[in-house]
Structure 1
Amino acid sequence: MSRPTGRVLTLLELLQSGGTRTVAELADRLGVEGRTVRRYVDQLIDLDVPVESVRGRYGGYRLAPGYRLPPLMLSDDEALAVLLGLVAGRRAGLMTAHRTANETASAKIRRVLPRHTARRLDALLDSLAFTDQPGDSDTPDADVLLTLADAVSKRRPVSIRYTDRDGRRSERTLHAYGIVNHAGRWYVTGTDVRIGEDRTFRLDRIADARTLPGAFEAPPGPDPAQRVLSGFATAEYRHEVTLRIHGTVEQIRARLPASVATLAEYGPAAGEDPATERWLRVELRAERLDWLPPALAALDRPFVIERPDELRDLVVEFADRLASRARAEHEVGRAPAP
């Protein structure tokens, strides 16, 4: 593409973003003089693009209201952000009418993308998985995400530069099984080749990713989303907690989801109704314990703390604070009016 043609298309993109653009602003963005901007505008008008001239102190150029611009021009990052948003919207359970619009919009974007970009995005969409905890997601680095998706799709090893939660940097070789969105964050899960164990990595902590020669076979077992949830529940943290809670699986999972805790019994005994309340062993790991007393109070089920003793002390302190506040409010309510 010649430089003047590229500048004309850039001008079109600037006008497409909305509002009135002054000649001085457009000239500065395009790196040309004002009279060159006017010549580019004439070229757009010759192509039947309805560019309007706005007179006055704050005048300039704008596209006619309601004009739908073909073709769609998106960078890799922009296309990725839009498609990920649409896919996440479908998974979040939008209404039927919105879901139909969502799917048609995805198809339209897919049709007008350059072939190379479309192939990379197809590989990404085939590699994605979502847990049952949707959230508002930031779009990760496009190059890292697309490279990982290609590695997942073609079962090729990938090298990543990673910074862990303690700030330690390392380079890993990963056999990536899938890319997962959980609670608003993006993760890649697979086997860390150096240690031969499954690991899950946050994409926003990956500085660089590149595919390596060779191939691998994904092992049988849980799907990528389940691998991520299991990894969260069994990760090494400062505190190991064991509880016995009387209730149903559904009641317990409402406050202690699979990404936080594991249940020793996940299904009913033979012939037992799944809704039957029973004692279940709950295990979890946590960096901090202060969030657990409120969670157990909100669960509102009988429970026994097996370990650690520190959690038992925190629960007693939490209960004392609640009782103290309740008594204070009661006394205030009984006080005579002045």
Structure 2
Amino acid sequence: MTGSSSRMLALLSLLQATRDWPGQELADRLGVTPRTVRRDVDRLRNLGYRIGSSKGPYGGYRLEAGSELPPLLFDDDQAVAIAVALQGASASGVDVTEAAERALATVRQVMPSRLRHRIDGIRFTGAAAEVRVDPGVLEAASAAVRDRRVLRFDYGAAADRPPRRTEPHAVVAREGRWYLLAWDLEAADWRTYRLDRMRPRVPSGPSFTPRPLPAEDAATSLAARAKGSTTEDRWPCVGEVVIELPAREVVPWVGVGEVEERPDGRCRVTVGSWSWVGVLAAVARFDAPFTVVGPEPLREAAETLAARFATAADPPS
């Protein structure tokens, strides 16, 4: 785009920010006069964009929601980002793959040839999520979070149980699955629910005042609960060992653990788990000799596990 067309695209990009833009500030950003800004705003209005304006020292322009979808203008980077996002929709876990394919075809059709060439060169195979979430469930849960209204839903396969009643706090995507973090009114405690197992009921319940989370944010709260904690994203049991392997053979498989290379060719590994036996299991999978550094509960667990293995290795009488 050149001339007025590129300037209108830049103007539209600025107006998409949720704020009022004084005419003089828009003119300074675009390098034109306020009169040119007014003329470009009128052109955008003729294209179907609802742009409100207010006069006075604190007035300006604001892009408002419209009843119809006007022509969409994207710069090159935005268009490529949309194409990548639509191609990766199958990995999101939400059942919108077919709709995303149709949307990509529609967007591609109206792109100039230079952009079609760019996005056609971006081809990748994403690992589709094993569990699919109904878009309607995602919408219902998200709306309940936004409106701060009690969400009632059936959960799992038990059809004879009464519906759950929750104060939804956040919808969180984690490791290919979607979760609702909510305060369960019957249990009087925080709970996490998988969206693919939920069947929301209508109408929704009354409004509520959000409770403070046990952790700093929703993502941390969910990660903490997955590790048996409530306030911090950390394992309850964390131990250190020295493994008789070079660091390069451990790093790719240690997961969220830490590996420190030693001058003697061995490596020091810090790893966490639900239990001390779990820490030992995470280390034993490397199938190499190792020495426990600490803490003391890990040494005690190693002695207990060694006695267990010795008993298991004895032939039956």
What TM-score does the superposition give when structure 1 sets the normalisation length?
0.41
Q: Which has the higher contact order (CA 8 A, sep 6+)?
A: 1
